Amino acid sequence: HGTPDHRIALIPGDGIGTEVIPAARRVLDAVAVRHRLSLTYDTFDWSCARYLRDGAMMPEDGLETLRGYDAILLGAVGSPEVPDHVSLWGLLIPIRRGFQQYVNLRPVRVFEGVPSPVRGAEPGAVDFVVVRENVEGEYGEIGGRLNRGLPGELAVQEAVFTRTGVSRIVDYAFTLAGRRGGTLTSATKSNGIIHTMPFWDEIVAEHAAGHPQVAWHQEHIDALAAKFVLDPARFDVVVASNLFGDILSDLAAAVAGSIGIAPAANLNPERVFPSMFEPVHGSAPDIAGRGIANPLGAIWSAAMMLDHLGHAAAATRITDAIAAALATTPVRTPDLGGSATTDAFTDTVISLL
């Protein structure tokens, strides 16, 4: 082997997570042979199923266990029998925060062969990335509720923006825009949110001065959401706070045609900790167990993982095979209007690598 081993932690999770992760692994193995990569895997059953059995989504030393891996590939967690905040705060958020995965990267492409619900969103023309701040902002734990059940009941939730936190996400986004030879759009709302968002805008402007080759502008989140639908082709890199980025990236996934195809990376750019790669979709209990989940989001996430591990050519080989499968064959899963199984679509991608 020409490259050192990469040790990958697989966390399939619940529902269709347990169907799409094996599919992604099959694609990884096929690419590894062709690019002489050595990938080894350990699979962890951390999930809502484990929570129902053992009372916790993951063991107490779960983060210590994961720390030794080069990357984490996660399916989805969530079960109708477990409140969603348990699955989120019991596994995903501890990993994202504990490993300082402060970049949530979500590429969006309209593929030939997957019609967008948005008129005029042409294949090739829509190809952008949402860079979401992933560890602070609006999703804080500071706040509380008072006078529960009384007429004077109230709830307060603080948004926390730090200079360090905003600077590093904005810097990442400018650097990415520079590397792509593209433009940067900053999502803001400094007309209505009068403390945190002007602070965000100031830091964006400071960083713009350090990246004179990158054209940029800022846009209020409400107008920006409308433009995602009206003119998605104009975007290249979009940087946003945790909440704005969460909403924009789901909207963008819908513009691209299906939640089942959207990938995401949770990156620790300094590589002090492993990064985590996961499809955007959830555990889809409505179709779980039938072998018809679209594995594309998980496969594309695996490609992002290879890219992060330094294997850009292998990653592109996967995304090219995905694009070819959609453009040149009728094989697709039911969410994209086809009748193929998860395995059949995965076989098609592998045959086109």
Q: Which residues in this chain contact ligand NAI in the complex, by CB under 6 A?
A: 16, 20, 76-78, 84, 87, 92, 259-260, 278, 281-287, 293-294, 297, 333, 335
Number of residues that bind Mg ion (CB under 5 A): 2
Classify residue 167 as exposed, middle or buried by CB count within 10 Å of its CB (0-12, 13-18, 19+): middle
Amino acid type, 313:
A
Q: Which one, 246 or 347, has the nearer CB to Mg ion?
A: 246
- With CB under 5 to 8 Å by kind, the binding choice for 16 among ligand NAI, Mg ion, none is ligand NAI
Q: Which one, 124 or 291, has the nearer CB to ligand NAI?
A: 291
Residue with the shortest CB distance to Mg ion: 246
The most distant pair of C-alpha atoms in the chain lies apart, rounded to whole Å, by 69
What does the CA dihedral 274, 280, 285, 290 come to, rounded to 10 degrees? -90
Rg over CA atoms, the chain: 20
Q: Which one, 70 or 246, has the nearer CB to Mg ion?
A: 246
Q: Identify whether the C-beta of residue 259 lies closer than 8 Å to the C-beta of residue 280.
A: yes
Cα–Cα distance for residue pair 51/24, rounded to 1 Å: 25
In the bound complex, what is the minimum distance in angstroms from residue 221's beta carbon to ligand NAI?
A: 21
Helix residue ranges, H only, the chain: 17-35, 48-54, 62-67, 84-87, 93-98, 163-180, 196-210, 221-230, 242-255, 296-308, 312-328, 342-351
Q: Identify whether the C-beta of residue 13 lies closer than 8 Å to the C-beta of residue 73.
A: no
Collapsing DSSP to helix, strand or coil, 16 comes out as coil
- With CB under 5 to 8 Å by kind, the binding choice for 113 among ligand NAI, Mg ion, none is none
Q: In the chain, helix, strand, coil percent, each to 5? A: 45, 20, 35
Classify residue 229 as exposed, middle or buried by CB count within 10 Å of its CB (0-12, 13-18, 19+): middle
Q: Which one, 76 or 159, has the nearer CB to ligand NAI?
A: 76
In the bound complex, what is the minimum distance in angstroms from residue 291's beta carbon to Mg ion?
A: 25
- With CB under 5 to 8 Å by kind, the binding choice for 246 among ligand NAI, Mg ion, none is Mg ion
- With CB under 5 to 8 Å by kind, the binding choice for 236 among Mg ion, ligand NAI, none is none
Binding mask 277-316 for Mg ion (x = CB under 5 A): ----------------------------------------
Cα–Cα distance for residue pair 349/353, rounded to 1 Å: 6
Q: Which one, 84 or 231, has the nearer CB to ligand NAI?
A: 84
Q: Which one, 208 or 325, has the nearer CB to ligand NAI?
A: 325
Q: Which one, 257 or 279, has the nearer CB to Mg ion?
A: 279
- With CB under 5 to 8 Å by kind, the binding choice for 245 among ligand NAI, Mg ion, none is none
In the bound complex, what is the minimum distance in angstroms from residue 167's beta carbon to ligand NAI?
A: 27
- Taking each continuous run of H as one helix and of E as one strand, the counts in the chain are 12, 12
Cα–Cα distance for residue pair 275/185, rounded to 1 Å: 25
In the bound complex, what is the minimum distance in angstroms from residue 310's beta carbon to Mg ion?
A: 28
Which of the 8 DSSP states describes residue 281?
A: S
Which of the 8 DSSP states describes residue 91?
A: I
Report the site for Mg ion in 130-189 (rule: CB under 5 A). Answer: none
- With CB under 5 to 8 Å by kind, the binding choice for 22 among Mg ion, ligand NAI, none is none
In the bound complex, what is the minimum distance in angstroms from residue 260's beta carbon to ligand NAI?
A: 3
Report the site for Mg ion in 227-286 (rule: CB under 5 A). Answer: 246, 250
**With binding defined as CB under 5 A, does residue 347 bind Mg ion?**
no
Q: Which one, 107 or 297, has the nearer CB to ligand NAI?
A: 297
In the bound complex, what is the minimum distance in angstroms from residue 164's beta carbon to Mg ion?
A: 24
In the bound complex, what is the minimum distance in angstroms from residue 281's beta carbon to ligand NAI?
A: 3
- Total residues found in the chain within this entry: 353
Token reading at 29: 């193995």
Q: Which residues bind Mg ion (CB under 5 A)?
A: 246, 250
